[in-house]
């Protein structure tokens, strides 16, 4: 009699959804264009002057925007531009990597305020969680000291770590694979340990988040970040939002199979930093490995040059694949590779393979260099809660 089939539906919306969206739209416009007057905002967002005025007053009271010097732009009353207040919101980002963890505090506009790191003991989450929690706490208390308002303006904790998530067993016996962390209920543990909203993304997604808010993908709706780190991944900005797939594993392009030397292998076995370390015979755990690689790259070390030549072939294929499959406005190379290595890699990848993206009327280059420093992932993690709280999103309109 009682058929309790679940009814599936999209959520409806109401006045608050409308209002929330319009606030987000205005904040987004200020982030994208810098300071704008109320009249400018009204034109850009297609809202009425009056609506914009009301929202701006609210945002000003909330400490999210502030007026600047009036400017005269020809006839008519001078306009009063409003800009985002950096101290209007804060977020903390946490990167969990194989043997190290990094935490960053950022403000509303994405400035990095604090950065701290700690070594992760072997032993996975059991021994690692206390270290991680302490690191976050340390950043949080320093932030509190700096800015009185910071604590109540803290919108969340973003976490980034290598994917893929939720796989049932490691495909690899490498002790530095992240399996134990990936199977651990990290979100719940960190939420309980900090009392903050916690979100999780993989390294490549974190880089894409950072590039979109403060980097080369700023203002782009379709961009893919080719992340070259210990593994390889793609961070996907599709239709203006980060896309992470049904289970958070979209973009794990490093696991894509290619035929090389007559056998099927994974992209990241051939072109990642892991493969470079192996090629060089260095220990991936060495603490100064980043600067070591950077220096040797800058000096055009022959072993590194040889690896670059080889890796460039596979990365060129990866760019072709990304262009073919996603049709983005641009591809951004980013991630944990030292800058000197990354620039050389990009050079070695030229010319790119012919593809649909190869057209003369492009406003943007097919491949460009994004953030490449060891803090890029942590920064992306930090910036995610800011975007989540303040950027226009479909789901932000719907009723909870």
Q: How many C-beta atoms lie closer than 10 Å to residue 270's C-beta? A: 21
For DNA (CB under 7 A), the number of binding residues is: 31
Give dist(CA 31, CA 33) in Å, integer: 6
Which residues, 150 to 169, sit near its own copies by CB under 8 A?
Answer: 164, 166-168
Task: Name which of DNA, its own copies, none residue 166 binds, using a CB cut-off of 5 to 8 Å depending on partner kind.
Answer: its own copies
Q: How many residues bind its own copies (CB under 8 A)?
A: 87
Residue 282 contact partner, candidates DNA, its own copies, none, CB within 5 to 8 A by sort of partner: none
Cβ–Cβ under 8 Å, residues 292 and 303: no
Stretch near DNA under the rule CB under 7 A, chosen from 6-14, 183-191, 227-235, 257-265 = 6-14
123 binds, among DNA, its own copies, none (CB under 5 to 8 A by kind): none
CA neighbor of 115 nearest in space, from 392, 384, 376:
376
Cα separation, 322 vs 314, in Å, equals: 12
Question: Of residues 53-82, which lie at the interface with DNA (CB under 7 A)?
Answer: 53-55, 70, 72-80
| Residue in 66, 100, 187, 256 binding its own copies, rule: CB under 8 A | 256
Q: Is 329 in the site for its own copies (CB under 8 A)?
A: yes
Q: Does 28 bind its own copies (CB under 8 A)?
A: yes
Identify the residue among 68, 146, 247, 295 touching its own copies (CB under 8 A): 247
Which positions ≥6 away from 312 have C-beta within 8 Å?
345, 348, 349
Q: Which does 75 bind (CB under 5 to 8 A by kind): its own copies, DNA, none?
A: DNA
- Cβ 275 to its own copies shortest distance, Å: 18
Torsion of CA 356, 360, 361, 362, to 10 degrees: 60
CA atoms within 13 Å, Cβ hemisphere of 78: 8
**By the rule CB under 8 A, 9 interacts with its own copies:** yes
Site string for DNA, 9-48 (x = CB under 7 A): ---xxxxx-xx--x--------------xxxx------xx
* 149 is a contact residue toward DNA (CB under 7 A): no
Q: Hey, is 199 helix, strand or coil? A: strand
12 binds its own copies (CB under 8 A): yes
Rule CB under 7 A: is residue 147 a binding residue for DNA?
no
Judge whether 356 and 320 are in contact, CB under 8 Å.
Answer: no
Q: Which stretch binds DNA (CB under 7 A): 49-57, 237-245, 254-262, 362-370?
A: 49-57
Strand pairing category for 241-243 and 232-238: antiparallel
b/e per residue 127-155 (b: at least 16 CB within 10 A): ebbeebbebbeebbeebeeebeebeebbb
Contact 250, 236 (CB under 8 A): yes
Which chain residues interact with DNA by CB under 7 A?
A: 12-16, 18-19, 22, 37-40, 47-51, 53-55, 70, 72-80, 399
């Amino acid at each position: 009699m009682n058929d309790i089939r679940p009814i599936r539906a999209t959520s409806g919306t109401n006045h608050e959804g409308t209002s929330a969206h319009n606030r987000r739209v205005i904040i987004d416009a200020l982030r994208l264009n810098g300071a704008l007057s109320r009249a400018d905002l009204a034109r850009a967002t297609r809202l009425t002057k009056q609506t914009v005025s009301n929202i701006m007053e609210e945002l000003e009271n909330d400490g999210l925007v502030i007026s600047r010097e009036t400017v005269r732009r020809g006839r008519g009353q001078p306009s009063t531009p409003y800009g985002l207040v950096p101290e209007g919101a804060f977020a903390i980002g946490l990167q969990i990597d194989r043997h190290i963890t990094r935490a960053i505090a950022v403000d509303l506009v994405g400035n990095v305020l604090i950065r701290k790191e700690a070594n992760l003991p072997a032993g996975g989450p059991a021994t690692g969680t206390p270290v991680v929690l302490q690191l976050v706490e340390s950043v949080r208390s320093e932030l509190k000291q700096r800015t009185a308002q910071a604590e109540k303006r803290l919108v969340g904790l973003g976490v980034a770590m290598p994917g893929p998530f939720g796989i049932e067993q490691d495909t690899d016996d490498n002790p530095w694979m992240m399996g134990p962390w990936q199977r651990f209920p990290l979100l719940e543990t960190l939420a309980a340990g900090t009392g903050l909203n916690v979100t999780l993304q993989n390294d490549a997604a974190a880089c894409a988040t950072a590039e979109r808010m403060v980097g080369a993908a700023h203002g782009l709706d379709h961009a893919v970040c080719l992340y070259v780190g210990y593994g390889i991944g793609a961070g996907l900005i599709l239709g203006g939002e980060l896309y992470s797939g049904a289970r958070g594993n979209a973009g794990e392009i490093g696991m894509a199979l290619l035929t090389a030397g007559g056998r099927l292998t994974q992209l990241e076995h051939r072109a990642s930093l892991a493969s470079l370390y192996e090629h060089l015979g260095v220990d991936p755990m060495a603490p100064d490995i980043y600067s070591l690689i950077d220096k040797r790259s800058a000096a055009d070390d022959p072993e590194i040059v040889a690896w670059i030549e080889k890796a460039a072939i596979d990365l060129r294929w990866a760019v072709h694949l990304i262009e073919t499959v996603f049709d983005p406005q641009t591809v951004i190379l980013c991630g944990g590779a030292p800058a000197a290595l990354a620039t050389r890699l990009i050079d070695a990848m030229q010319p790119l393979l012919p593809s649909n993206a190869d057209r003369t009327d492009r406003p943007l280059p097919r491949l460009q260099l994004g953030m490449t420093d060891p803090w890029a992932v942590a920064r992306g993690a930090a910036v995610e809660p800011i975007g989540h709280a303040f950027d226009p999103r479909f789901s932000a309109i719907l009723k909870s």
